Chains A and B, each alone.
Chain A
Amino acid sequence: MVVKLPEPREKVIENLLRLANTKLPADIGWALEAAAGWETNPTAASQLGAIMENVRKAELLAKPMCQDTGIPIFYVRGKFDSTIAEDIAQAVKNCTKAIPMRPNTVDPIIRVNYGNNLGDGMPCIHFIPTNDDFTEIAVMLKGAGSENMTKLKMLNPSDGMEGVKKFIIDSVIEAGGRPCPPGIVGVGIGGTADECVAMAKRALLEPLDMEDPDADIQALEEELFVKINQSGLGPMGLGGDTTVLGVKVRKSACHTASLPVAVNIGCWATRRACARITDTDVFYSQGVRL
């Protein structure tokens, strides 16, 4: 079947990178506004104000809201073939010049910059094949400030949920101002070590106003949200009532002898964009549950 699209796929991916870089997802914008409303600490209020003003300017001027345009992490779901990886690579290369995005990728050993955000093993793409008749492409721009705070711990089953909560709260507090709080705490519980970290990151793709279908997870997210904000760490770690805008937890079955927990923090600039490509249309959004 010939797939007729209004735009070539490579162009859609370029649109995603531009959208993610220049426009903060609406759910995060709303959460920031709410936080500015309840914040009682004047330094914290000034930080939130500076963030919101910057978000407005970035959108207006079509500039990247943060200079760390990160590593773009792609998720491809639905029907696709291997040529999609080439389109993604080409789009990353084009956008590095056109938006522009900061050339961030370097060789890990000799530290030489590739100059185009590609290089060995790049672009980073997660594939989720399904029987749907659309292709969904999501991208998240992950800066190093937040990504460097990633933690995985293989707890003992006897540590229980108390151990899990403690590990999550400690990880956020220890990160302090480094991941540009207030942001989103992505959590993975269970799975294997690799899957656990992948879940924690995937959780950040989900809009903050989307409720988890599992009541236990909802309660856990709520409890962690309240406790972390009660810490007083505040925006940029300078003190205040707002340390996180949301907590997103994903779980997966695990070995009876394991209790893996992973934390992947998203900064306030958790930049995401998604496109669902059908035979006739492209639908854009800025968050998805995968």
Chain B
Amino acid sequence: MYTGRDEVHIRALEHLDEGKDVPDCLNGAALYHCGPIMKQDDDGKWSVVAAGPTTSARMNALEPRFIREFKIRAIIGKGGMSKEVAEAMKEVGCVYLAATGGVAVSYAEGLSKVTGCDWLDLGMPEALWHFQTSSLGPLVVAIDSEGNSLYETVRQKVAENLSKQ
């Protein structure tokens, strides 16, 4: 699993446009919208302290192209994403998994190993961290690969409930 938020999206797509290299790991990746707190020990080894999801909607504008270019298979985030993103997900066969926002200690436990990092110059929250996972959760399939969105269902229900008030 690889973390990527605003700056990873911006740089990866810029690099594609300019014909520059993009880390190979993004191809077919499970992308975690997350800016973790990481700690480096005296030997330079990184470990993860806290790593819950960040708001996915911030990536709405760049995500459709990002998904198509890198054939992203799963996105883990919070708050859901736009219809345009859901369409790109459908094309590529990608699911959106809702992680519980703020639950950073539990998710950090599910990221069992730090296997690498790219673009650390973007700063700790924005860097592209590589993780091995085990029992990462809870995760709720909130947008499936057919484009069905739990957020959409809830939104309709909310509008209905509020109109009754």
Contact = CB atoms under 8 A, between A and B. Distances in A.
B106 A50 contact: yes
Interface string A104-148: 101000011101000000000000000000000000000111001
Q: Chain A interface mostly helix, strand, loop or mixed?
A: loop
Q: Chain B interface mostly helix, strand, loop or mixed?
A: mixed
B154 A234 contact: yes
A100 B37 contact: yes
A239 B34 CA distance: 23
Contact of B80 (A106, A177, A232): A177
Contacts of A94: none
Contacts of B98: 177, 236, 238
Contact of A67 (B37, B57, B142, B155): B37
B153 A239 contact: yes
A178 interface: yes
B130 interface: no
B52 A176 contact: no
A232 B157 contact: yes
A262 B65 CA distance: 36
Interface of A: 43, 46-47, 50-51, 53-54, 57-58, 61, 63-69, 100-104, 106, 111-113, 115, 143-145, 148, 169, 173, 176-178, 180, 227, 230-239, 267-269
Interface of B: 7, 34-37, 39, 49-52, 54-55, 57, 78-80, 98, 100-106, 108-109, 122-126, 138, 140, 142, 150-151, 153-155, 157-158, 161-162, 165
